Amino acid sequence: MKLVYYRLFFFLLICSNAWAAKPALVSLTRLRCDYRDNPLGVESRQPRLSWQIVSAVRGQKQTAYRILVSDNPKTLAANQGNLWDSGKRISDQSIQVAYEGKPLQAGQSYFWKVQTWDKDGQPSVWSAPATWQMGLPDKSDWGKAQWIALEDLPASERIVPFVHNPTSKKPLGDRQSAQNALPQFRKEFSLKKPLKRATAFISGLGHYELKLNGQRVKDHFIDPGWTNYDQYALYATYDLTTSLRKGANVLGVLLGNGFYNIPVERYRKIVGSFGYPKLICNLQLEYTDGSKEQIVTDQSWKVTKSPITYSSIYGGEDWDARNELTNWMSAGYNDSNWQTPLIVQGSPQLRSQTAPPVKIMETFTPVRITEPKPGVFVVDLGQNMSGIPQISVRGKTGSVVKITPGELLGDDSLVTQKATGDPHFYQYTLKGSGSETWQPRFTYYGFRYLQIEGAVPDSHLANVPSKPVVDLPVLTAIKGLHIRGSAETVGTFSCSNDLFNRIDRLITWAIKSNMVSTLTDCPHREKLGWLEETHLMSGSARYTYDLATLLPKIIRDMQSAQLANGLIPDIAPEYTAFVSGFRDSPEWGSAGVILPWYTYQWYGDKSILTESYDMMKKYVAYLGTKANDHILTHGLGDWCDLGPKPPGESQLTPKGITATATYYYDLTILEKTARLLGKTADADQFQQLAESVKKAFNGKYYDAEKGYYGSGSQTSNAMPIYMNLVTPENKATVTASLLKSLKDNKYSLTAGDIGFRYLLLALTKVDASDAIYAMNNRSDVPGYGYQLAHGATALTESWPALRFVSNNHFMLGHLMEWLYSGLGGIQQDENVPGFKAIVIKPELVGDITQTNVRYVSPYGPIRSDWKKTGQQLELTVSIPANTTATVFLPASVGRSISESGKPLENRSDVKVLRTENDKTVLAIGAGMYVFTVQ
């Protein structure tokens, strides 16, 4: 009997060892804290932790997790979480898991990792460790750091809000009679002990450039991001541990005006000042012996004028290289003739900059250089973009090179800025010491062309033998540096239709060129955060870029801009108070309701609704005070619709249609938000009010005899269809009216800035994507193809690509959303946020035979590829682990369907749900699937 027990014991031992040695079926990757990889400057007391699961096993999902958080990497390596050990938690949650450990300390670094259990209850190996470092959320965390400056503008001479487009200096008083000086600061200090960690927390207003021992720290551009500086400013965080050296070190900082101080000289959309440029910095040093030290801005720093002689976010920038100081960022430099900085007042609150920093993302070289006028050269870079020029030049001291950027050329083949803000230019004064390379630091513009005066490109020297070029500087290189927010690219699209591919690129360049610390309308004339596009265009932008940290920043801008009466103005930050519909238009201000909801749906973060709820509620209450019998009629309406007049306020659609429909949409969102947050009484109130608005809207605008809303325009019918304002008994009639009007108009576009997105959404909703294809697969009438045919390389402000408006504009690019969600078919279940439940519903339209779409969701990459060959369709789908998907396969009843070569009925991991509108609807889990329809 003992022998039997021994044999049984060894058998179980061998089996247990085999089980223990079983390779993990999942791996954990992309550990993120508050949407960022190993972030610095985290201010949340309960950071949200996320991870992605990678597995080749179909249907793989998480059934439990365990998180460890430690303040010491060695402790974490020993599988101990001395700050938080969540224990094994039965949950499939793998994004937005809130930290629940011991209190977190300002400025400290933390280390974490995660383990999960799969669908069969098997544990994964521990993930690789990740980190985050806390910021300085409270004023006391900044210690003795003070705001310092070269000059101080008296409070009585501040101009806030800014003056809109002043025609003279008179509104500005005497203080703008001379340009302000642009400062540079230095601070020398020594490391006397071995260093464990060094972190710099810094804000320089309007913008700063940080250097350490003569080297630029990081590659950020126009930091920090724009805010309402009277309420708060942003600071950035840098890890300088490996950059500091034993002994003497020098911090150097240059400041530019940015939106903090806008001078009156040259072009200006708005003029005003929160004050003169200023700096605050706290460099925290932690030594290996456990001691700590802080290097802070105070009167031990030194300051002097920098070589920047002019700085304007609107007008350009000048640099006099003769004023450069040799070795000023080297230890031991004699700064005895520098000034002691002034101690000044700055923004009352500092918040961490968490949105992706603006950086130089691409470089363009000339495709052609012409000389349309003697001594004036025009460089064509081939692409309209947001950016700055960079020149390399050699010449005599005191020579001045002038660079004028522009997106269009005039009839004389010279750069024109008539539609984009004139004059904006850059001037570089040579020091005359060999080759000199320069680029602006604190401004940018939208341009394709660079006009050069005062210098000769070296490529043209041989062509001008009769000119006295010997006295002119020689340009040895000129480039265009594209700047934008460095958000990660998360989506790609391509298809067999070349026009649609070119449209995708056209829209992409408008998005890229207007993605800075907010989403601007254009990168030149205004550079303002017009709010309607933050919700109308964010669908297109979210498919292509990771906006998980930029959108909350924009939402905070709206919270900051909201007035006491509840109004959210049309722009945020609201640097100037426009009037009439340009300050109060429901389609614009409703971004304060719609954008938080979209952000929650897309990224699965309910906290954004909690933080935004009061703003949302106050704004809808404000709209209620403006309504007459539940109808709103004020605002700009369907901006830039295509009517008989030049583009502007709505021409074809009654303003009451767009304003009231948006008001109703706000109420439906607010009802869902209130229920989600457990505010049942509020939800019931919003539901009742929405029903009253719907009844009033139909009574006011529905023409039962004609079967359409308002004027019967594309926008008039599309918005009620998409927003469920149409009563059930009228839905078929209104849909037919919309489709008939499109056909009668030969599928020409007329909907404007507000209506076009809802037109696309409405047509998708009623399964009329063929109409979307017909409207956009053409170049003969105003639209995307028309813009491309007329030379546009970025989306323009008007459908007909007019020359007197912006030709790089974050507006009307809504087709990109359909390219991903309609043509490519990648959607999310609107009832399940964050792409936890995915919908794959491709639309096969027109002559398109192939489409390839990728999107990296919060749970991981999603793929949807389809190809038609004769009567055969192949759809390849990839779904990330820990999610499920519903697939609408274009296959009517009677078609033969297989998956990876096997009949569908033989696939236990594919469930047929139903047939619907000539589509077979399937349910699948995570994994790769190849469906073939014969």
Polymer length of the chain:
934
How would residue 171 be classed by pLDDT, with cut points 50, 70 and 90? low
* Residue-wise burial string across 266-294, b where 16 or more C-beta atoms lie within 10 A, e elsewhere: bbbbbbbbbbbbbbbbbbbbbbeeeeeee
Return d(Cα 472, Cα 400) in angstroms, integer. Answer: 9
Domain spans in the chain, listed from the N-terminal domain onward: 10-133, 139-355, 362-485, 491-823, 837-933
Assigned CATH topology for domain 139-355:
Jelly Rolls (2.60.120)
Number of neighbours of residue 584 by Cβ within 10 angstroms: 21
The distance in angstroms from the start CA to the end CA of the chain is 64
Q: How many CA atoms lie within 13 A of 420 on its CB side?
A: 33
CB 753 within 8 A of CB 536: yes
For residue 377 the two structure tokens come to 């050269």
> Averaged over 43-57, what is the pLDDT?
97
Tens-place pLDDT, residues 210-263: 999 999 999 999 999 999 999 999 999 999 999 999 999 999 999 999 999 999
Tens-place pLDDT, residues 663-711: 999 999 999 999 999 999 999 999 999 999 999 999 999 999 999 999 9
Q: What percent of the chain has pLDDT over 90?
A: 93
Bond before 161 cis per omega within 30 degrees: yes
Cα 466 to its chain centre, rounded Å, is 51
Q: Using the predicted structure, report yes or no on whether residue 167 has a pLDDT greater than 90.
A: no
CB 279 within 8 A of CB 149: yes
Bond before 224 cis per omega within 30 degrees: yes
Q: What is the pLDDT of residue 22?
A: 52
Number of neighbours of residue 905 by Cβ within 10 angstroms: 10
Assigned CATH topology for domain 10-133:
Immunoglobulin-like (2.60.40)
Q: Using the predicted structure, report yes or no on whether residue 473 has a pLDDT greater than 90.
A: yes
Distances (CA, A) of 11 to 2, 29, 625: 14, 36, 79
Q: Using the predicted structure, report yes or no on whether residue 466 has a pLDDT greater than 50.
A: no
Number of neighbours of residue 425 by Cβ within 10 angstroms: 22
Return d(Cα 646, Cα 648) in angstroms, integer. Answer: 7
Return d(Cα 156, Cα 779) in angstroms, integer. Answer: 56
> Residue 108 corresponds to which amino acid?
Q
For residue 168 the two structure tokens come to 């003279």
Return d(Cα 335, Cα 741) in angstroms, integer. Answer: 74
Average pLDDT for the chain: 95
Nearest Cα neighbor of 387 from 228, 514, 233 is 514
For residue 393 the two structure tokens come to 């030049």
Q: What is the pLDDT of residue 51?
A: 99
In degrees and rounded to multiples of 5, residue 752 shows phi and psi of: -105, -155
CB 31 within 8 A of CB 50: yes
> Averaged over 162-186, what is the pLDDT?
72
Nearest Cα neighbor of 673 from 608, 717, 744 is 608
CB 532 within 8 A of CB 754: yes
Residue found under tokens 């759809």: 875
> Averaged over 646-668, what is the pLDDT?
98
Return d(Cα 454, Cα 475) in angstroms, integer. Answer: 10
* Residue-wise burial string across 460-481, b where 16 or more C-beta atoms lie within 10 A, e elsewhere: beeeeeeeebeebbbbbebbbb
Return d(Cα 381, Cα 702) in angstroms, integer. Answer: 51
Q: Using the predicted structure, report yes or no on whether residue 484 has a pLDDT greater than 70.
A: yes
Q: What is the pLDDT of residue 15?
A: 40
CB 783 within 8 A of CB 776: yes
Distances (CA, A) of 682 to 594, 667, 843: 17, 11, 39
In degrees and rounded to multiples of 5, residue 877 shows phi and psi of: -130, 135
Residue 538 region by backbone torsions, left for phi larger than 0, else alpha for psi between -120 and 50, else beta: alpha
Q: Using the predicted structure, report yes or no on whether residue 468 has a pLDDT greater than 80.
A: no
Q: How many CA atoms lie within 13 A of 630 on its CB side?
A: 18
> Residue 217 corresponds to which amino acid?
V
Helix, strand or coil, per DSSP, at residue 933 = strand
> Residue 31 corresponds to which amino acid?
L
Tens-place pLDDT, residues 787-826: 999 999 999 999 999 999 999 999 999 999 999 999 999 9
For residue 66 the two structure tokens come to 């365990």
Please indicate whether the domains covering 362-485 and 837-933 agree at the CATH topology level.
no
For residue 669 the two structure tokens come to 């969102």
| Cα dihedral sign, 484-488-491-494 | positive
DSSP secondary structure code for residue 776 in this structure: H
Return d(Cα 764, Cα 239) in angstroms, integer. Answer: 48
| Cα dihedral sign, 521-346-135-341 | positive
For residue 897 the two structure tokens come to 């369907």
> Averaged over 72-81, what is the pLDDT?
98
Bond before 206 cis per omega within 30 degrees: yes
Cα 885 to its chain centre, rounded Å, is 27
Say what the pTM is.
0.95
* Residue-wise burial string across 856-871, b where 16 or more C-beta atoms lie within 10 A, e elsewhere: bbbbbebbbbbebeee
Q: What is the pLDDT of residue 24?
A: 62
CB 404 within 8 A of CB 424: yes
Residue found under tokens 């028309």: 786
> Residue 159 corresponds to which amino acid?
I
In CATH, the architecture of 837-933 is Sandwich (2.60)
H-run or E-run covering 533:
helix 532-536
Return d(Cα 38, Cα 152) in angstroms, integer. Answer: 38
How would residue 9 be classed by pLDDT, with cut points 50, 70 and 90? very low
Helix, strand or coil, per DSSP, at residue 729 = helix
CB 272 within 8 A of CB 160: yes
Number of neighbours of residue 602 by Cβ within 10 angstroms: 21
Helix pair angle (655-676, 591-603), 10° resolution: 50
Q: What is the pLDDT of residue 169?
A: 53
Return d(Cα 763, Cα 779) in angstroms, integer. Answer: 21
Return d(Cα 836, Cα 859) in angstroms, integer. Answer: 7
In degrees and rounded to multiples of 5, residue 782 shows phi and psi of: -50, 135
How would residue 59 be classed by pLDDT, with cut points 50, 70 and 90? very high
Integer-rounded Cα radius of gyration of the chain: 30
Strands 474-485 and 456-457, by their bridges, are parallel
Return d(Cα 835, Cα 841) in angstroms, integer. Answer: 14
For residue 146 the two structure tokens come to 């003070």
Q: What is the pLDDT of residue 174?
A: 54
Q: Using the predicted structure, report yes or no on whether residue 5 has a pLDDT greater than 50.
A: no
Q: What is the pLDDT of residue 58?
A: 97
CB 833 within 8 A of CB 809: no
H-run or E-run covering 32:
strand 27-33
Q: What is the pLDDT of residue 170?
A: 53
> Averaged over 66-81, what is the pLDDT?
98
Supply angle C-alpha 341, 344, 350, rounded to 5: 115
Number of neighbours of residue 186 by Cβ within 10 angstroms: 20
In the chain, the largest separation of any two C-alpha atoms, in whole Å, equals 113
Q: What is the pLDDT of residue 27?
A: 97
Q: Using the predicted structure, report yes or no on whether residue 12 has a pLDDT greater than 60.
A: no
Q: Using the predicted structure, report yes or no on whether residue 775 has a pLDDT greater than 70.
A: yes
Assigned CATH topology for domain 491-823:
Glycosyltransferase (1.50.10)
Q: For 362-485, CATH number?
A: 2.60.120.260
Transcribe 469-522 into DSSP letters: GGGS-EEEEEEEEEEEE-PPB-EEEEES-HHHHHHHHHHHHHHHHTBSSSB-S-
In degrees and rounded to multiples of 5, residue 375 shows phi and psi of: 80, 0
> Averaged over 755-760, what is the pLDDT?
98
